[in-house]
Every structure is written in C-alpha cells, then in structure tokens.
Amino acid sequence: MRKEYLLIAGAQILIGDLLTIIGVFLRWGRFSRISGWYIITTRIPGNLSVFLVLIGGIIAFFGGLALASALIGNWTLSVKRGITYFLWLGLFIAAAGCMWNALEYGGMPFGLFVSWLGNCIALIGLAIIEFGLFPLKTKMRKVKPSI
C-alpha cells in the first residue's frame, strides 16, 4: 500500500486511542454525573472494568505512537509486526473492559460509548495497517508446462 494511506490509518489509530482514553473521563453513570475517573479513584464498585479500559487505551496509544514512528522511519517489517501485536493487546484489554462494564451494569452511558467508539475506530485503522503491510499470502499452484 502507499505510505500515505498507511500514515492516515496510523493517525486513525491514534485518534481512536485518544477517544478511548478521553471516554474514561466522561460520564459513566446512567442517571448520575459520575465519571469513569471518579469510579477509579474512589471505592465505587465496578472500578476494575473502567481501569481496564484506561490501561488498554494507554497501551494502545503508546503502541500507536511507536507504529507512527516506525511508519515514518525506515524500520524493518518484523519490528512493525511486533508493534502491531502490542496494539492488538491494548485494544483487546480496552474492549474487554468495555464489554465487562456494559454486561455487568447494563446499558451504555456516554463515557462508555465514547471509549467503545474510539476502540472500534482504532481497530479499523489497525486492520487497514495489518492488511496493508502484511498482505495475506496465497499458495501459487505449480503449472506444468505444456509440450
């Protein structure tokens, strides 16, 4: 793929990761003004799921920064592949935290929705980079020459 498209997908990953982190600081209570950060810093039950979303977003954001520097520089494909594994890990942790909170407490408050949306945006950008840098390998059939 062209380098410009990969850089756009890298920017998409960074924007999605920032939305995932910003969503933690928005309203997470369905009928109250309790933010996710308030849930983490106090003894309100259910803070582990919000903490997972925050940690996953931070891991994925730093992985996105590393991938952006790898795309701008001339790093090898094996290093870029290792960075994408780091991104997959962060996105998986954040998605697990979002799903855990949605299933445990029901509904999707605004902060959880923003975190989930950011995670999905980053996931789409990561899929574009995965298939752009590392295309699927197909086996080629050996054709016998005809005489």
Q: Where are the alpha helices (DSSP H) in 25-76?
A: 36-41, 47-72
Q: Is residue 101 part of a domain?
A: yes
Is pLDDT above 70 for 138?
A: no
Per-residue model confidence (pLDDT) at position 141: 62
Q: Is residue 7 part of a domain?
A: yes
Q: Is residue 73 part of a domain?
A: yes
Per-residue model confidence (pLDDT) at position 143: 64
Alpha-carbon distance 59 to 139, whole Å? 35
Per-residue model confidence (pLDDT) at position 62: 94
Q: How many CA atoms lie within 13 A of 79 on its CB side?
A: 10
Rounded to a whole number of angstroms, the distance between the first and last alpha carbons of the chain is 39
Domain range for residue 90?
3-133
Alpha-carbon distance 53 to 119, whole Å? 9
Q: Is residue 47 part of a domain?
A: yes
Q: What value does the mean pLDDT take over residues 53-66? A: 93
If pLDDT is split at 50, 70 and 90, which confidence band does 140 have?
low
pLDDT tens-digit readout, 88-137: 999 999 999 999 988 888 878 888 999 999 999 999 999 988 887 766 56
Label residue 46 left, alpha or beta by phi (over 0 means left) and psi (-120 to 50 means alpha).
left
The number of domains in the chain is 1
Per-residue model confidence (pLDDT) at position 68: 85
**Residue 55 structure tokens:** 């940690």
Q: Is residue 75 part of a domain?
A: yes
Q: Report percent pLDDT > 70 for the chain.
A: 87
Alpha-carbon distance 86 to 25, whole Å? 24
Q: Is residue 114 part of a domain?
A: yes
Is pLDDT above 90 for 17?
A: yes
Q: Is residue 146 part of a domain?
A: no
Q: Is 108 helix (H, G, I), strand (E, B) or coil?
A: coil
Contact (Cβ atoms closer than 8 angstroms) between residue 22 and residue 145: no
Q: Is residue 147 part of a domain?
A: no
Alpha-carbon distance 24 to 38, whole Å? 9
Provide the CATH number for the domain around residue 33. Answer: 1.20.120
